[in-house]
Amino acid sequence: MDIPRDHLVDMYETMVKIRRFEERIREIYFEDKLPAFDIAAGLIPGEMHLSAGQEPVAVGVKPHLKAGDAITATHRPHHVAIAQGVDLKKMAAEIFGRETGLGHGKGGHMHLFSVEPNFGCSGIIGEGMPVACGAALAFSRRGTDNVALSFFGDGAANQGAFHESLNLAATWNLPVVFICEDNGYAISVPKAAATAIPNNSDRACAYGIPGVLVEDNDPVGVYEAVGEAIRRARSGGGPTLIEVKTDRLWGHFEGDADAYRSDEFKKAMAERDPLVTFGRRLLDEGVLSESDVDSIRERMYGEVEEALEFAQSSPYPQPEDALNHVFA
């Protein structure tokens, strides 16, 4: 692998951190909702969309980012937020609905916003794509070489916002990179039943921009494709559409019985778990030693526990604070 070692290590560390965060959120989410599942009950109420399996898409981007670059993510935002460097404590606190959260408990896990780093996400499919175009427009008007990255799912590629954004970005030659996280399912509907062509990256040709397919859920493949796209965008070369074939290891939301995917499919997914395969590859190629892996795990697990501890020990907002922040 012709990639600086620190980038590889950083990508792996971030994957470990993301996975641990998602596992722990999942445990806490369920432990106070069982035996009778009540979505409103417990420390983490509401819907929860976890991104285990999709880590490579986020961590392959991270080494190419610089201060001020804007990211818009989806309703499944944690991996992207963590990889972008969103404050893990404040993010966890937001998920727990606490006063110390990113939005003081106003947004919750689908609506995480952070000024530094420049991160936003949305519970509406495709909503962040035009916003990324606007961020890119602002960068070019202000004369910075920042880029905007918009993550979206394969389901969003059938929304008008996808087509409008690609056309706008191409027409205005905006420094924006669109990254399709193709996990093959829009909730329960398989992509083949909802999308007329196998690869959304092919749709780039309709807008006269490069379309790049990363066929396996490999952080290195993402790293290379996104690196090239970001270099092009920063130097005035305009937008790129990248599609990454990835896996959503768990259900669409926590509590989803996930009956629409076969046992064989799930077994195959588990066998190609990117955290395992990437870790093994780094060991095989001598990038990491067993003891490196252990210490990474210890540090990342510790960071996650610290964030969860901060969140759970933080106060809830005052009820009447619901009226704050409607207007600046």
Partner 1 sequence: MTTATDRKLTTQKAIAEAIALELERDESVLVMGEDVGVYGGIFGSTEGLLDRFGPQRVMDTPISETGFIGAAVGAAVNGLRPIAELMFVDFFGVCMDQIYNNMAKIHYFSGGNVKVPMVLMTAVGGGYSDAGQHSQTLWGTFAHLPGMKVVVPSNPYDAKGLMISAIREDNPVIYMFHKGVLGLGWMTNNPRATGPVPEEAYEVPIGKAAIARPGNDVTVATVGLSVHRALDAAELLEEKGISAEVLDLRSLVPLDREAIVASVRKTHRLMVVDEDYQSFGMSGEVITTAVEGAFDYLDAPPVRVATPDVPIPYSHPLEEWTLPSVRRIVAGIERLTTG
Question: How far, in Å, CA of 34 to CA of 236, rounded?
Answer: 53
- Least separation in angstroms between residue 125's CB and partner 1 is 9
The binding site for partner 1 (CB under 8 A) comprises 70, 72, 101-107, 111, 113-115, 118, 120, 122, 124, 127, 129-139, 141-142, 148, 160-161, 163-165, 167-168, 171, 324-328
Question: In the Cβ-directed half-sphere of 112, how many Cα atoms lie within 13 Å?
Answer: 33
Q: How far is the CB of 94 from partner 1 (least distance, A)?
A: 8
Extract the tokens encoding 325.
């922040």
Cβ proximity to partner 1: between 126 and 211 the closer is 126
We find the least distance from the C-beta atom of residue 234 to partner 1, in angstroms, to be: 16
Closer CB to partner 1, residue 29 or residue 139? Answer: 139
Half-sphere exposure of 46 (CA within 13 A, CB side): 17
The residue (of 92 and 135) whose beta carbon lies closer to partner 1 is: 135
Q: Which is nearer to partner 1, 12 or 178 (CB)?
A: 178
CB atoms within 10 A of CB 46: 14
DSSP letters, 258-309, are -TTS-HHHHHHHHHT-HHHHHHHHHHHTTSS-HHHHHHHHHHHHHHHHHHHH
C-beta of 256: minimal distance to partner 1 in Å?
23
> What are the counts of helices (DSSP H) followed by strands (DSSP E) for the chain?
10, 9
Greatest Cα pair distance, the chain, in angstroms, is 56
Name which of 160 and 198 has its Cβ closer to partner 1: 160
**Rg for the chain, CA atoms, rounded:** 19
**In the complex, what is the shortest distance from the CB of residue 87 to partner 1, in angstroms, rounded to a whole number?**
12
Q: How far is the CB of 45 from partner 1 (least distance, A)?
A: 16
- State both tokens at 257: 């019985």
Secondary structure element (H or E) that encloses residue 116, with its range: none
Looking at the Cβ atoms of 5 and 325, the one nearer to partner 1 is 325
Q: Return the C-alpha torsion angle 247, 275, 51, 201, nearest 10.
A: -40
Q: What are phi and psi of 188, to 5 degrees?
A: -105, -10
**Minimum distance of partner 1 from residue 278's CB (angstroms):** 32
User: Which residue, 186 or 282, is less far from partner 1 as judged by CB?
Assistant: 186
Q: How far is the CB of 128 from partner 1 (least distance, A)?
A: 8
Tokens of 123: 């519970």
Between the alpha carbon of residue 246 and those of residues 176, 187, 192, 218, 222, the distances in Å are 21, 15, 15, 8, 11
Which one, 145 or 273, has the nearer CB to partner 1? Answer: 145
